[in-house]
Amino acid sequence: MEKLRAGETTRLRNSELEKLRDGDNPRWRNSALKKLRVGETPWWRNFALEKRRVGETPRWRNSALETHRAGETPRWRKSALENVRVGESPRSRNSALDKLRAGETPGWRNSALEKLRVGETPCWRNSVLEKLRVGETPRWRKSALEKVRAGETPRWRNSAFEKLRTGETPRWRYSSVEKLRAGETPCCIKSALEKLRTGETPRRRNSVLDKLRAGETPCWRNSALEKNRVGETARWRNSALEKLRVGESPRWRKSALERVRDGEIPRWRYSAFEKLRPGETPRWRNSALEKLRVGETSCWGNFALEKLRLGETSL
């Protein structure tokens, strides 16, 4: 009571009457009439009549007639006639005639004649004659004569005579006479005489005599005498005497005497006498006397007397 007098009572404890007096009643407790009076009634609780008065009726609650009057009728609710009148008819509902009048007929609905008039006929629908007139005929539809006139004839369609005139004839189509005149005759077509004159004869076609004259005879065709003259004789063809003269005889072809003279005889071919002379006799071939002379006699080969003389006799 004291709180009420002081005006401190909490809103939770205030009576319904107090809340109404203070204007603190929550909106969810206000009656529909109260909300309407203060202008706070939610949309979903307002009457349809009240919504119409304030102009807040949702479109989905308006009648078709009301929607029409307000100019808000969706296109799907309008009649075909209404859509046409306001200029909103979808293209799918317009008649072909209407589309043609408005210039909106799709290309696939236009007649061939209409497409030709507006210049939209696809190339594959144009007649060959029409394509030729506008210069769009594909090359594969043009006649050979037309291609030749336009300079587009492929080389494989030109006649041999036409190619010769334009200078496009491949070399393999020229006649031998024509190639010879133009200086393009391949070596395989020219005669041997012609090749010899122009210096194009392959070496395999030159005669041995011709090669010898030109100095091109291969080594294996030159005679031994010819090779000896030019100094090309192979070593294996030179005689032993020839090799000895030029100093090219292999060691295995020289005589023992020749090797001894050149100082190339191996030690195992020297005689014992020959080896003793230059002082090369091996120790195992020297006589005991020789070894004693040069001081190389082994201990086990010396005589006891010699050992005594040298003072090496053991006690």
- What residues contact residue 209 under an 8 Å CB cut-off, 6+ apart? none
Pair 99, 105: CB distance under 8 Å: yes
- For the chain, the average pLDDT equals 63
Q: Which of residues 314 and 136 earns the better pLDDT score? A: 136
Q: pLDDT tens digits, residue range 18-73?
A: 666 666 656 555 566 666 666 665 555 556 666 666 666 565 555 666 666 666 65
Element (H, E) at 312: none
What's the confidence (pLDDT) of residue 258?
73
Pair 304, 313: CB distance under 8 Å: yes
Give mean pLDDT, residues 75-88. Answer: 63
Q: How far, in Å, CA of 128 to CA of 136, rounded?
A: 9
Judged against a pLDDT cut of 60, whether residue 309 lies above it is answered with: yes
pLDDT band of 198, cuts 50, 70, 90: confident
* Longest distance between any two alpha carbons in the chain, whole Å: 169
What's the confidence (pLDDT) of residue 149?
74
What's the confidence (pLDDT) of residue 210?
72
Judged against a pLDDT cut of 70, whether residue 213 lies above it is answered with: yes
Q: pLDDT tens digits, residue range 234-272?
A: 555 556 666 666 666 565 556 767 777 777 656 565 565
What's the confidence (pLDDT) of residue 32?
64
